[in-house]
């Protein structure tokens, strides 16, 4: 079996990210488009490609333009993603999304910088 293509993986991550942002379960999204939640899992992982008509359904339900799902995909002309892979992965799970939301609500820039420094120190084994 062939590995998923980067664009299919990116589209799946974007579907998952937007679904989580809206607080919609895989089961609920599946019901709205007439699929099983397992099919949604396959789309979100990039294992199954999303057809154009299905992508339009997702865009309507998730209230975004179809182009939303291609943000961060590799641009063939410069072969460089517009959103780093780690950021896409981070925002494609509920913990990362919640952390990013909470972090951006902190108005004190110095406090945000201190939190980043703390996390960097933890990551490097300082704790």
Domain ranges of the chain: 6-92, 95-127
Mean pLDDT over each residue of the chain, to the nearest integer = 85
Burial grade of 115 (CB within 10 A; 0-12, 13-18, 19 or more): middle
More confident residue, 36 or 104: 36
pLDDT in tens, 7-22: 898 899 999 999 998 9
pLDDT in tens, 43-92: 999 999 999 999 999 999 999 999 999 887 765 433 444 566 677 778 77
Task: Quote the pLDDT of residue 87.
Answer: 75
Q: How far, in Å, CA of 70 to CA of 88, rounded? A: 12
Q: Which fold has domain 6-92?
A: 434 Repressor (Amino-terminal Domain) (1.10.260)
Task: Quote the pLDDT of residue 127.
Answer: 63
Task: Quote the pLDDT of residue 79.
Answer: 46
Please give the model's pTM, rounded to 2 decimal places.
0.66
Token pair for residue 44? 């979100």
Task: Quote the pLDDT of residue 96.
Answer: 84
Mean pLDDT of 113-124: 87
H helices present in 1-127, as ranges: 6-21, 26-33, 37-45, 52-62, 85-91, 94-105, 109-123
């Amino acid at each position: 079996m062939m590995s998923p293509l980067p664009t299919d993986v990116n589209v799946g991550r974007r579907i998952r990210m937007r679904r989580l942002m809206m607080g919609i379960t895989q089961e609920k999204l599946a019901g709205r488009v007439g699929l099983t939640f397992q099919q949604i899992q396959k789309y979100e992982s990039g294992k199954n490609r999303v057809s154009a008509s299905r992508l339009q359904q997702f865009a309507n339900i998730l209230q975004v333009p179809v182009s939303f799902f291609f943000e961060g995909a590799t641009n063939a002309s410069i072969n460089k993603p517009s959103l780093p892979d780690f950021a896409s992965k981070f925002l494609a799970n509920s913990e990362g999304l919640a952390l990013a939301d909470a972090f951006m609500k902190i108005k004190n820039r110095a406090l945000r910088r201190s939190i980043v420094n703390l996390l960097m120190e933890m990551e490097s084994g300082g704790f």
